[in-house]
Structure 1
């Protein structure tokens, strides 16, 4: 199987099976994980809607009626606060696409999350607990943005949930120079 055939097979597998890890794909196609990483990069460059999720690579095309919004939040780094925030979002029915912080030197720094379910939040929190990395929001005193996707109703529910937690940053609270 050449590279083009393997990439077609990767797309077929992801469309049929959902998320698969790089290791699972490497084992299936008898190549290294690095070859799979390169294949995914090539597929993305061709416009394939591939996501990296906590559960592996996934093929994802937004359903009709899905919109994006950016929700500004601010809170401390306590794991339970992070869990409440992310759980409130997925429980409202949105996908937490990413987290973005605005760094004074580097500009926008983002991290892909793609959290859709309580299980995704649990996996994210388990990785955070491992302690090998810190939250991006630690660079900005807890201020960060989440890009979310969902129906207009789900996004409104997510805003309400964050507001109830007291972590939604309102426009009137944003300081302008």
Structure 2
């Protein structure tokens, strides 16, 4: 599909109907264009106000949620990343993103959108396959996660579990 306006309309329609993220490569194949053309289409859609989120698994439309949102401060090395993610997801929360403070760029945010154990598996598989570094490795393991959860006591349970595992970042005595 060479008509950019029609292609972008179809991208929005497909994302609205999708239950899972759709990759730029899949759109590119469907429309017979390059992946970079799709990346550009999504950039134009975002610039026009569409709430499209890029995840490691593809694009999704942002869904307005009634869930509670909080940030967790955590610290761990790369060997505890899986334990951290599973601990949060096991308690019913979605891990929306990871945030680190960079000395040059300020706040860096990486979208995660991890809701299920399968999402954790997929993230870890991609992490190992790409041999990429975790953002937390830039900050001696200290980072934030934005999480979404249902009940106020869910947050307390998540913090307690992370604290017991030595992952929750807590004030240290000087």
Instruction: State whether TM-score is above 0.5.
Output: yes
Identify if the C-alpha distance between structure 1 residues 46 and 150 changes in structure 2 by more than 3 Å, giving closer, same or farther. Answer: farther
Q: How does 1:134-173 map to 2 (within 5 A)?
A: 134-153=133-152, 154-170=154-170, 172-173=171-172
Large movers: runs of 4+ above 6 Å: none
Are residue 67 (structure 1) and residue 88 (structure 2) matched? no
Identify if the C-alpha distance between structure 1 residues 131 and 17 changes in structure 2 by more than 3 Å, giving closer, same or farther. Answer: closer
RMSD of aligned Cα (Å):
2.0
Q: Describe the superposition over 1:46-72 as per-residue Cα deviations: whole angstroms up to 9, x where unpaired.
A: 2222222232111231322x2321100
Q: Give the TM-score of the pair, scaled to structure 1.
A: 0.86
Identify if the C-alpha distance between structure 1 residues 94 and 174 changes in structure 2 by more than 3 Å, giving closer, same or farther. Answer: farther
Runs of 5+ unmatched residues, structure 2 = none
Partner of 1:50: 52
Identify if the C-alpha distance between structure 1 residues 76 and 41 changes in structure 2 by more than 3 Å, giving closer, same or farther. Answer: same
User: Which of 5, 26, 29 in structure 2 is aligned with 1:27?
Assistant: 29
Q: How does 1:83-162 map to 2 (within 5 A)?
A: 83-130=82-129, 132-153=131-152, 154-162=154-162
What is the count of residue pairs matched by the alignment? 171
Q: CA deviation at 1:150?
A: 2.5
User: Which of 30, 38, 41 in structure 2 is aligned with 1:39?
Assistant: 41
1: CA distance, partners of 2:16 / 2:173: 42
Q: Give the TM-score of the pair, scaled to structure 2.
A: 0.87
Identify if the C-alpha distance between structure 1 residues 56 and 131 changes in structure 2 by more than 3 Å, giving closer, same or farther. Answer: closer
Q: CA deviation at 1:17?
A: 2.2
